[in-house]
Amino acid sequence: MKSKYIYVFALMLAPIFGVAQMSKPFTLTGQVSDYKRAVDQTIYLKFKQNGIEIKDSAKLINGSYTFKGLISYPAIAVIQLKVADSVATYYARTRMLKDYVHEFYMDKGKLSANAAQKLNSTVVKGSKADDDRQELKTKLDPYYAANSKAYKEEGDPAYKNKDSIGIVNYTKKRSKIDFQIDSVKKAYLFSHPQSGIALDMLREYTQSILEPAEIEPLFKQFQPEIKASDEGQAYAKRIESSKVTALGAAAPDFILKDRNGKAVSLASVKGKLVLLDFWGSWCFPCRQTHPHLRKLYAEYKDRGFEILGVANELGKPEENYKKWTVALDQDQMSWINVLNEKGEIGKLSVSEKYNVKAYPTKILIDKNGIIIKKFVGSSEAKAKDLDDMVAQILSEK
């Protein structure tokens, strides 16, 4: 076994309450049926711990191999064969899933990994984290199969025939299945906070929005080793930073310029029900929501409702103004709009202050300047929720 020593040194240098104290031994013993594909008769293992990539290799003896090492907390790991260049080139060109690679969750203890066919058919046993991964996969497989069937029977023909009605019907079906997938994942996450896969699931769940009142109690139940990891500590910091713009928090004030160079502050519209709309000219889903916003604004602008658009452009600063103003005119945006600018060194931009991770993001702020609702995405359901909230709040005046 040609083990890399960087991890050993990291353990030696770790603080007394750091990684070294929590490290536990693991043994991974496996069998590969198609081991003759390995041009060097070697299998490779890699995973990360606290930002350090651990790499190891083991010789294949009639397809059998063994890895031994230390691990502090469960982590996604990969075992891989080195195949002929022609095989690697084929998979790179076709972008097919590599059948000479297997991904799983490494965990402490004695693990077995046996592949009856290609390496990607490997079944890992002994890893509690990977047991959870496999259990969740079993729950999700029927929905993924339904998605594939819907695309094959409805989506693909509709796109090929440019059938707009068929595309709409397929999209609705796909959205319904995707919602079911998300629901299954969420239910599993919240019912398995001690799982070794929980942090990865949580990061996926909160990829676009994190509400600390919902997430912090869950995170506190995670394995101590996971919370103490670099990834866990980074996530804990994200929870803390999200509290600044959490539901019920006072919306941070800011000043940006409109198309005429006039400084506009959030404080200047206090006293109204305000919708902050984070968007960009480059963001097609964002711009899909603008016809709905035009209708909403026309209906409620004289009843104490204001929209403050914050555009986030991605190009060169000298080009951003033109792209932004062209989009303003094309989308007939008659409400207040300002152009977001990168924060000064050491300071956050407005989108960063508001923890915007996906576009479009819309934030509803009451007349007292308190954040009351967030909408991420461009779905019809979110548009209806926004309509209902605005109507309800302004009818109470």
pLDDT at 299: 96
Nearest of 340, 380, 360, 369 to residue 274 by alpha carbon:
369
Rounded Cα–Cα distance for residues 133 and 197 (Å): 7
Nearest of 176, 117, 113 to residue 147 by alpha carbon:
176
Rounded Cα–Cα distance for residues 397 and 394 (Å): 5
Note the CATH number of domain 6-126: 2.60.40
- pLDDT classification of 345: cutoffs 50, 70, 90: low
Record the pTM.
Answer: 0.85
Q: What residues contact 317, with CB distance under 8 A and at least 6 apart?
A: none
- Cβ–Cβ under 8 Å, residues 311 and 340: yes
Cα 94 → chain centroid: 26
pLDDT tens-digit profile of 163-203? 999 999 998 999 899 999 999 999 999 999 999 999 999 99
pLDDT tens-digit profile of 22-66? 799 999 999 999 999 999 999 999 999 999 999 999 999 999 999
Rounded Cα–Cα distance for residues 152 and 127 (Å): 36
Nearest of 114, 117, 111 to residue 99 by alpha carbon:
117
- Cβ–Cβ under 8 Å, residues 273 and 367: yes
The topology (CATH level 3) of 255-395 is: Glutaredoxin (3.40.30)
Rounded Cα–Cα distance for residues 152 and 173 (Å): 13
Nearest of 249, 259, 289, 297 to residue 375 by alpha carbon:
289
pLDDT tens-digit profile of 264-284? 999 999 999 999 999 999 999
Diameter over CA atoms, the chain? 79
Question: Tokens 């049926």 correspond to what residue?
Answer: 33
DSSP 8-state code for residue 342: P
Domain boundary assignment for the chain: 6-126, 131-245, 255-395
pLDDT over 70 at 83, yes or no: yes
